[in-house]
Amino acid sequence: MHSYQEEFHPPERLLLGPGPSNVNPRVLKAMGAPLLGHLDPAFLRVMDDVKEMLRLVFQTGNIITFPVSGTGSAGIETAMVNVLEAGDTAVVGVNGYFGDRMAQIAERCGATVHRVETEWGYPLDPAAVRAELAKHPKVKAVGMIHAETSTGVLSPVAEIAEIVHAHDALLIVDAVTSLGGIEVAVDEWGVDICYSGTQKCLGCPPGLAPVTMSPRAEEVLTTRKTPVQSWYLDLSLLRSYWSNTRAYHHTAPISMIYGLREGLRVVLEEGLEARYQRHARNAAGLRAGLEALGLRLFAQEDARLNTLTSVRIPEGVSDTNVRGTLLKEHGIEIGGGLGPVAGKAWRIGLMGENSKPAAVLTLLSALEKILPQEGYEVAQGQGVGAAEQKLGEP
> Which tens digit of pLDDT belongs to each residue from 294-330?
999 999 999 999 999 999 999 999 999 999 999 999 9
Strands 345-349 and 308-312: antiparallel
User: Which domains, and CATH codes, for the chain?
Assistant: 25-268 (3.40.640.10), 271-391 (3.90.1150.10)
Whole-number Å distance between alpha carbons of 242 and 249: 10
pLDDT of residue 385: 97
- Whether 229 shows a pLDDT value over 90: the answer reads yes
> Is the pTM for the entire model greater than 0.85?
yes
- Whether 1 shows a pLDDT value over 80: the answer reads no
Using 50, 70 and 90 to split pLDDT, how confident is the model at 178?
very high
Displacement of CA 63 from its chain's centroid (Å): 22
pLDDT of residue 2: 83
> Which tens digit of pLDDT belongs to each residue from 11-37?
999 999 999 999 999 999 999 999 999
What's the mean pLDDT when you consider all of the chain? 97
> Which tens digit of pLDDT belongs to each residue from 185-208?
999 999 999 999 999 999 999 999
Q: How many CA atoms lie within 13 A of 361 on its CB side?
A: 13
Per cent of the chain over pLDDT 70 is: 100
> Which tens digit of pLDDT belongs to each residue from 72-106?
999 999 999 999 999 999 999 999 999 999 999 99
| Residues counted in the chain | 394
Task: Please give the backbone phi and psi of residue 298, each rounded to the nearest 5 degrees, phi first.
Answer: -90, -45
Whole-number Å distance between alpha carbons of 305 and 240: 36
Whole-number Å distance between alpha carbons of 136 and 130: 11
Whole-number Å distance between alpha carbons of 182 and 114: 28
- Whether 371 shows a pLDDT value over 80: the answer reads yes
